[in-house]
Chains A and B, each alone.
Chain A
């Protein structure tokens, strides 16, 4: 900083980050961000985590953001730095994760000349960010950074990108502090919650004989209070509750009313309860196609209430009777108040026959599996991992595929923000870099990346990051030597023609671990599974655990593509009807 209280644009950006509460930034340097890296070097308040690929920087920031509730911060260079970050930004947009991504850009006078490492970053990132900026006037730098944090974290959170030309980073400017209140109407100002609708929704829930509560990631984003309120509502109504992949943990898995996850690989009882309910309360979920199955047979006899902070989520794919736009926490608290107003045991419908029905579905034990004498079932691997870590403060990240579904099914979550997975975009390679962000945020906690061997290969360069920062992450690879979910769909829908889904030429994971100076473990016999998991957990540093599992195990239960909730298949022995022609076209 010079004497007249001026500083370079780069210094101003870093100062603004500190003012917005940034403690950690995930990034990778390059020509167009050298001034920013220089400013970071001089500023001692922000810890920079050097990743090995820009996609991983965004995923790490996502892991950090999701496990803390803070905004994740990313710094990448122009051109390839920015284009590499695109997958991460799209992932954050789909899963509503607050991210601020700073990207370098060629100096303003070179923009449009196809300069070295120039890319139209704002153009490329426009559809995959909540908002983005190209700062061409250095005097707007501070205000832009402040606004970006506001936008990323308000309403439905999402990624915001700021493209920073190199000359702007070098211009001397006056630092401007964040105003306590941003005047501008940022996004939609949320409308006043309609009290009349709340009271109608409360009536509907009180009088329902077969209600179901279905909650998702919106409750996680609304904070721990929202989770507590949701649990209070579940207990108050004695209603069954099911959670989406994104929502796992917002109601404890130990709650007796919890039916498990719903949807394509959800439990039988959750999906059947959805199908047969008379009133459905959706809290912070978006009727994703993995959840609804065939829409014209989705919960056909139910009245639907939908609480969401994003108005465009309401009536997007499923028409609902009552749409309530608002923060889950506020709406739930109003709803509970309203229900308590007219609450007495008699007025709340008895649900004993509904629970009897649900318990009959539960008795099917849709997550049951038979563990043989030697070969490890992937389900057993997750189950044992859960049982061994149940008393620890454990955070789980996953990649995408069969292992992700098995983790969702067999690992229990008793609190929100402990489960980081790529839901909307389904990004293979998400889990490892994400676990970096989680472990940075929670250095004392046990962080496990439940992985598949194929997904692991997608971002395994991050092993180097893990070693550099000595992050004691446990990489738990369910190794079946297949892209398991692709293989499963080829088996079910494409006559077992396994086109390109075999993962050949795998590395020796123990040798790989060794080459990075960390511990590698392997197990292929179920009798050694527990000992291997113990050894993994008790190792103080990072571990790669190569869990050799049953190669052709399929993930069940399953709603085949294009089918409805009540057309689930529970195991390979079920007579699987050929997928309909329209179903084949679905993903």
Chain B
């Protein structure tokens, strides 16, 4: 943003899910994150891991907030980063799936243990660890589903949370294969 007052467009900020394909090399993630911190944009969620081990490409799924002008600016700025090959705005493109994984530890006793297991079953959470005083549940799904589960668990005892952040993909039969094939093998 310029220091000069903008033509105030009173547009509300919305949440956008971006999907990036980048070279899996040192510094790429730092450049993406640096862009957000340096220019004052928000990151609500960020996940990254390699998706192509021949071309050494990673996918970054990123949730950000902003007006449409800000989001357009974020996308253009991301494309300027040399190892960023593809920037897709899933929110704008059409229907897409957002999913994340959460690990939730609950320390509880007595009747609350029974209630916790019942709720976990309803949410199709897996029980990964059990002691006489605690559980660790694994849950996948949309972020709001995980929020709801965490809310319930909180009322049953002391909890500890680890979440992966959102991973996203578009619905339908369209893929990126053709675009990614243009990137040479390293």
Same complex for A and B? Answer yes
The residues of A with any CB-CB pair to B shorter than 8 Å are: 122-123, 126-127, 130-132, 134, 151, 156, 183-188, 289, 292-296, 310-312, 314-319, 562, 582, 585-587
Partner of A126, one of B3, B27, B79, B80: B27
Contact residues in B for A188 (Cβ distance below 8 Å): 79-80
A–B complex contacts, Cβ < 8 Å, 20 sampled: A122-B26, A126-B27, A126-B30, A126-B31, A130-B82, A134-B26, A184-B184, A186-B82, A188-B79, A289-B3, A289-B4, A295-B4, A296-B5, A310-B76, A310-B80, A311-B79, A312-B79, A315-B72, A315-B73, A316-B73
Closest to B69 in A: A315
Docked pose: A289 CA to B7 CA in angstroms: 13
Closest to A300 in B: B7
Q: Residue B14 at the A interface, CB < 8 A? A: no
Beta-carbon contact of B27 and A132 below 8 Å = yes
Beta-carbon contact of B4 and A294 below 8 Å = yes
Q: Residue B183 at the A interface, CB < 8 A? A: yes
Docked pose: A311 CA to B34 CA in angstroms: 19
Give the 4 A-B CB pairs with smallest separation, nearest first. Answer: A312-B76, A183-B184, A131-B82, A311-B76
Beta-carbon contact of A185 and B182 below 8 Å = yes
Closest to B87 in A: A188
Contact residues in A for B30 (Cβ distance below 8 Å): 123, 126
Asked, given contacts A130-B82, A311-B76, whether A586 binds B69 with beta carbons under 8 Å apart, the answer is no
Q: Residue B15 at the A interface, CB < 8 A? A: no
Q: Residue B8 at the A interface, CB < 8 A? A: yes
Contact residues in A for B31 (Cβ distance below 8 Å): 126
Name, among A122, A183, A186, A312, the residue most crowded by chain B CB atoms within 10 Å (CB to CB).
Answer: A312
Docked pose: A2 CA to B7 CA in angstroms: 65
Docked pose: A130 CA to B80 CA in angstroms: 8
Asked, given contacts A184-B183, A188-B79, A316-B73, whether A296 binds B85 with beta carbons under 8 Å apart, the answer is no
Give the interface residue-count category, chain B: 20 to 34
Contact residues in B for A132 (Cβ distance below 8 Å): 27
Q: Residue B2 at the A interface, CB < 8 A? A: yes
Q: Residue B172 at the A interface, CB < 8 A? A: no
Contact residues in B for A311 (Cβ distance below 8 Å): 76, 79
Contact residues in B for A126 (Cβ distance below 8 Å): 27, 30-31, 34
Contact residues in A for B6 (Cβ distance below 8 Å): 295-296, 317
Whole-angstrom distance between the Cβ of B28 and the nearest chain A Cβ: 10
Whole-angstrom distance between the Cβ of A562 and the nearest chain B Cβ: 7
Contact residues in A for B76 (Cβ distance below 8 Å): 310-312, 314
Docked pose: A2 CA to B2 CA in angstroms: 56
Q: Residue B1 at the A interface, CB < 8 A? A: yes
Beta-carbon contact of B80 and A562 below 8 Å = no
Asked, given contacts A126-B31, A587-B3, whether A312 binds B77 with beta carbons under 8 Å apart, the answer is yes
Beta-carbon contact of A187 and B80 below 8 Å = yes
Partner of B27, one of A122, A183, A318: A122
Whole-angstrom distance between the Cβ of A524 and the nearest chain B Cβ: 39
Whole-angstrom distance between the Cβ of A514 and the nearest chain B Cβ: 45
Closest to B79 in A: A188
Partner of B2, one of A127, A295, A314, A315: A295
Q: Residue B38 at the A interface, CB < 8 A? A: yes
Docked pose: A398 CA to B171 CA in angstroms: 56
Beta-carbon contact of B7 and A319 below 8 Å = yes
Partner of B82, one of A187, A315, A582: A187
Contact residues in B for A127 (Cβ distance below 8 Å): 34, 38
Whole-angstrom distance between the Cβ of B77 and the nearest chain A Cβ: 5
Whole-angstrom distance between the Cβ of B68 and the nearest chain A Cβ: 10
Docked pose: A137 CA to B79 CA in angstroms: 27
Docked pose: A516 CA to B4 CA in angstroms: 46
Docked pose: A187 CA to B1 CA in angstroms: 23
Docked pose: A122 CA to B31 CA in angstroms: 11
Docked pose: A108 CA to B161 CA in angstroms: 38
Beta-carbon contact of A295 and B77 below 8 Å = no
Contact residues in A for B85 (Cβ distance below 8 Å): 185
Docked pose: A185 CA to B86 CA in angstroms: 10
Whole-angstrom distance between the Cβ of A127 and the nearest chain B Cβ: 6
Asked, given contacts A126-B31, A131-B82, whether A317 binds B3 with beta carbons under 8 Å apart, the answer is no
Whole-angstrom distance between the Cβ of B80 and the nearest chain A Cβ: 6
Docked pose: A16 CA to B8 CA in angstroms: 51
Beta-carbon contact of A319 and B82 below 8 Å = no
Contact residues in B for A310 (Cβ distance below 8 Å): 76, 80
Contact residues in B for A295 (Cβ distance below 8 Å): 2, 4-7
Beta-carbon contact of A289 and B2 below 8 Å = yes
CB within 8 Å of A: which B137-186 residues: 182-184
Closest to A122 in B: B27
Docked pose: A300 CA to B31 CA in angstroms: 36
Docked pose: A53 CA to B79 CA in angstroms: 34
Contact residues in A for B69 (Cβ distance below 8 Å): 315, 319
Task: List 5 additional contacts besides A123-B30, A587-B3; criterion CB under 8 Å.
Answer: A127-B34, A186-B82, A296-B7, A312-B77, A317-B2
Whole-angstrom distance between the Cβ of A209 and the nearest chain B Cβ: 24
Docked pose: A587 CA to B3 CA in angstroms: 8
Binary A-proximity of B21-46 (CB < 8 A = 1, otherwise 0): 00000110011001000100000000
Docked pose: A586 CA to B1 CA in angstroms: 13
Name, among B2, B38, B182, the residue most crowded by chain A CB atoms within 10 Å (CB to CB).
Answer: B2
Docked pose: A187 CA to B73 CA in angstroms: 16
Contact residues in A for B1 (Cβ distance below 8 Å): 317
Partner of B183, one of A123, A185, A293, A296: A185
Beta-carbon contact of A312 and B4 below 8 Å = no
Name, among A122, A131, A582, the residue most crowded by chain B CB atoms within 10 Å (CB to CB).
Answer: A131
Closest to A587 in B: B3
Closest to A183 in B: B184
Closest to B25 in A: A133
Whole-angstrom distance between the Cβ of B125 and the nearest chain A Cβ: 40
Docked pose: A151 CA to B1 CA in angstroms: 26
Beta-carbon contact of A312 and B80 below 8 Å = yes
Docked pose: A389 CA to B138 CA in angstroms: 78
